[in-house]
Copies of this chain bind each other. A is one copy, B any other.
Amino acid sequence: MRQAFHELVLATRGRGLVDFTEAVDGWIAQNRFQNGLLTLHLRHTSASLLIQENADPDVRRDLDAFFERLVPDGDPFFCHTAEGADDMAAHVRTALTAVNLSLPLQNGRLALGTWQGIYLWEHRTRPHSRRITLHFIGE
């Protein structure tokens, strides 16, 4: 049994979903991990990690649009406004989703379904650099 850590740094272009499944698969392949548990943790409070459909891009468009309607930027209701109209909305969107993912790895392959991809969901409107810690335990 062994453990390994890695940090991915992803540049976002502002609000939207970024598929980084390939970067995760690359780290697994490079280390020849076979069976174990992969944990991903995003070190930010205004973006999320999400497993979602990787086929029709309209799904990502609709997800983002739904969240913009559910949690409007610049809602007069919010007190925390010092960092811009999209900041508190980004914190709420993060609370409604997740910053950790746990994925079993079997025979060198993540237990993802055919249509599942791993996404970073940027909730701020401006581009950001986002850090994700990867941890593997297994063989």
Chain A contact residues, CB within 8 Å of chain B: 1, 3, 5, 35-37, 39, 41-45, 50-53, 56, 58-59, 61-63, 65-67, 69-71, 75, 77-80, 82, 88, 91-92, 94-104, 106, 111-116, 131, 133-135, 137-139
Contacts and interface: CB of A to CB of B under 8 A. Distances in A.
Contacts of A115: 44-45
Q: How many identical subunits does the complex contain?
A: 3
Given A3-B35, A133-B106, A92 B113 contact: no
Instruction: Tell me the interface secondary structure of chain A in the complex.
Output: mixed
State the 4 A-B residue pairs at the shortest beta-carbon distance, nearest first. Answer: A43-B113, A104-B135, A58-B80, A111-B133
B77 A69 contact: yes
